[in-house]
């Protein structure tokens, strides 16, 4: 897809390790818009493709041209387009033996000052509505998909908050007082405490509401429970 006059859309190429906030800011500074939503997401390009990261009305699925993926089973890399990636709400066809090496993302020509204003608005909203400190972003996917108009099924944070669990602590980890879908770890926090608190919250929500929350974060180094 391109501009209405048929001009091809500008493409930004980024390696998997590039932080999303840096990608958003550097693209905007060069007059390349469409990635402003990514400035507040604490992740990298590779993880963003794997999970179809998104927020503030945008996501990877809406802008990806292709991704280069290395297959650990075959030792080969290949380019995958949107159909191959099968991006959905915080899901993709990128498997556990796949490593995203980089991505090509479609942008649009914009005024850098306007893009900078959008970046500032996203950052301001995040600072007001989400916690700082040591956290990995949203813990659970919203049961009904991306946040939308009021009146829809409650989001994961609302379900947890409804059970009075804001501030609930387990060892060195606690549920954020600002947004219940965030777990904040102490400076010397334990990953085991975070993982145990995630399981506790999921169990409590399931028992109280019948809703089975899906974890957005991926666990590495926990053995059979990784995922």
Domain containing 214 equals 131-225
Residue 216 scores a pLDDT above 70: yes
- Domain closes at, from 128, 152, 169: 128
Residue 184 and residue 111 in one domain = no
For 180-200, write each residue's pLDDT tens digit: 999 999 999 999 999 999 999
For 110-157, write each residue's pLDDT tens digit: 999 999 999 999 999 989 998 988 887 789 999 876 654 444 568 999
Establish if 3 belongs to a structural domain: no
Residue 122 and residue 32 in one domain = yes
* Minimum mean pLDDT range among 74-83, 87-96, 140-149: 140-149
Q: What is the CATH number of the domain that holds 62?
A: 3.30.465.10
Residue 178 scores a pLDDT above 50: yes
Catalytic status, residue 50: no
Establish if 152 belongs to a structural domain: yes
Q: How confident is the model at residue 220 (pLDDT cuts 50, 70, 90)?
A: confident
Torsion from C-alpha of 95, 147, 201, 161, nearest 10 degrees: 170
Residue 122 and residue 135 in one domain = no
For residues 49 and 67, the answer to whether their CB atoms sit within 8 Å is: yes
- Domain closes at, from 94, 128, 162: 128
Residue 24 and residue 98 in one domain = yes
Residue 18 and residue 123 in one domain = yes
Per the residue annotation, which of 36, 80, 92, 216 is the catalytic one? 216
Residue 114 and residue 142 in one domain = no
Catalytic status, residue 216: yes
- Residue 93: CB atoms within 10 Å: 14
Helices (H), 61-219: 82-85, 112-129, 156-162, 191-209
Distance between CA atoms of residues 1 and 4, nearest Å: 9
Q: How confident is the model at residue 217 (pLDDT cuts 50, 70, 90)?
A: confident
Establish if 170 belongs to a structural domain: yes
Q: According to the model, what pLDDT value does residue 149 have?
A: 45
Which residues, in sequence order, are bridge partners of residue 74?
Answer: none
Residue 51 and residue 118 in one domain = yes
Q: According to the model, what pLDDT value does residue 1 have?
A: 47
Question: What is the domain count for the chain?
Answer: 2
- Domain closes at, from 78, 108, 128: 128
Per the residue annotation, which of 50, 90, 106, 126 is the catalytic one? 90
Catalytic status, residue 138: yes
Mean pLDDT of the chain: 91
Establish if 2 belongs to a structural domain: no
Helix H or strand E encompassing 58: strand 58-59
Contacts of 218 (CB under 8 A, 6+ apart): 51, 226, 227
Residue 119 and residue 201 in one domain = no
Q: What average pLDDT does the segment 12-28 reach?
A: 97
DSSP 133: S
Please identify which residue in the block is written with the tokens 């998997």.
Answer: 16
Residue 31 and residue 103 in one domain = yes
The encoded tokens of residue 20 equal 């999303």
Helix H or strand E encompassing 46: helix 45-51
Residue 23 and residue 96 in one domain = yes
pTM score, whole prediction: 0.79
Per the residue annotation, which of 27, 92, 138, 176 is the catalytic one? 138
Q: According to the model, what pLDDT value does residue 74 have?
A: 96
Residue 111 and residue 206 in one domain = no
């Amino acid at each position: 897809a391109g501009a209405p006059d048929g001009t091809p859309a500008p493409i930004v190429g980024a390696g998997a390790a590039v932080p999303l906030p840096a990608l958003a800011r550097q693209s905007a500074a060069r007059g390349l818009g469409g990635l402003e939503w990514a400035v507040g997401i604490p992740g990298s390009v590779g993880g963003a493709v794997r999970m179809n990261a998104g927020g503030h009305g945008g996501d990877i699925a809406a802008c990806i041209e292709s991704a280069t993926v290395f297959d650990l089973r075959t030792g080969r890399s290949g380019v995958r387009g949107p159909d191959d990636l099968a991006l959905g709400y915080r899901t993709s066809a990128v498997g556990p033996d796949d490593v995203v090496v980089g991505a090509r993302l479609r942008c649009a020509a914009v005024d850098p000052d306007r893009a900078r204003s959008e970046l500032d608005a996203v950052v301001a909203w995040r600072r007001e509505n989400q916690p700082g400190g040591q956290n990995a972003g949203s813990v659970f996917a919203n049961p009904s998909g991306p946040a939308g108009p009021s009146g829809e099924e409650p989001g994961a944070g609302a379900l947890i908050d409804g059970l009075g669990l804001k501030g609930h602590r387990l060892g060195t980890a606690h549920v954020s007082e600002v947004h219940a879908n965030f777990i904040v770890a102490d400076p010397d926090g334990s990953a085991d405490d975070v993982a145990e608190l995630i399981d506790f919250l999921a169990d409590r929500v399931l028992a109280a509401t019948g809703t089975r929350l899906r974890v957005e974060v991926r666990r590495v180094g926990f053995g059979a429970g990784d995922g």
